[in-house]
Amino acid sequence: MRNCVDDLLSLHRFGFSGRPGKASIIRSVVWSPPALGWIKVNTNGATLGSPGVGGCRGVFWTCKSFVKACFAVLLGQVFAFEAELLAALLAINYAWNLGWHRIWPESDSSCVVQLLSILSDQVNWRVRQVWQCCIHQISRMEFQVSHIIMEGN
């Protein structure tokens, strides 16, 4: 049983009693707004299969926790990690183009956070051009990056 009402109702119709699965680990996740003058952007990417049709999104937040902007992009055939990375790279590029030069991306991908922290050149050839453009932009910004557990928000 997956702990959903449909499963429970189906089992009851056939005279069975369900045994719910154990609850997953419950974690407290606290999101905090950025400092005055900074823009925080929460990004996420996903695919249907890997590789599969993918997309990404980002939400830009002000220091008062107001949504400043957002985006959603269909990426075509990509791997799951590429979708996560492209979400962060597109967010940085959008911020640059809008003149926001104090940017704080948050991602639920620890690999993306690590790449953006060390600015390594070890990226897939399919995203290398976008990556190099973002490294150039980041070098001219005030920039910090962090990991967040999205499922907790």
Q: What confidence score (pLDDT) does residue 104 get?
A: 97
Cα separation, 30 vs 152, whole angstroms = 8
pLDDT band at 144 (very low <50, low <70, confident <90, very high): very high
- Determine the average pLDDT of the residues in 124-137: 91
DSSP state of 119: T
Cis peptide before 33 (omega within 30 of 0): no
Q: Report yes or no: 67 and 107 within 8 Å, Cβ to Cβ.
A: no
**Residues 14-43: tens digit of each pLDDT:** 777 656 667 677 777 788 999 999 999 999
**Residues 100-113: tens digit of each pLDDT:** 999 999 999 999 99
Residue 111: CA atoms inside 13 Å, Cβ hemisphere, count? Answer: 13
**Residues 59-79: tens digit of each pLDDT:** 999 999 999 999 999 999 999
For helices 110-118 and 80-97, the axis angle rounded to 10 degrees is: 50
Answer yes or no: is pLDDT of 118 > 90.
Answer: yes
pLDDT band at 123 (very low <50, low <70, confident <90, very high): confident
Q: Report yes or no: 57 and 73 within 8 Å, Cβ to Cβ.
A: yes
Domain chopping of the chain, boundaries:
25-152
Answer yes or no: is pLDDT of 88 > 90.
Answer: yes
Mean pLDDT, all residues of the chain: 88
Cα separation, 141 vs 138, whole angstroms = 5
Cα separation, 139 vs 71, whole angstroms = 23
- Determine the average pLDDT of the residues in 85-92: 96
Q: What confidence score (pLDDT) does residue 152 get?
A: 47
User: CA of 137: how far to CAs of 36, 63, 90, 127, in Å?
Assistant: 21, 22, 12, 15
Q: Report yes or no: 102 and 138 within 8 Å, Cβ to Cβ.
A: no
- Give strand pairing partners of 69: 60
The amino acid present at 109, given as its one-letter code, is S
The architecture of the domain spanning 25-152 is 2-Layer Sandwich (3.30)
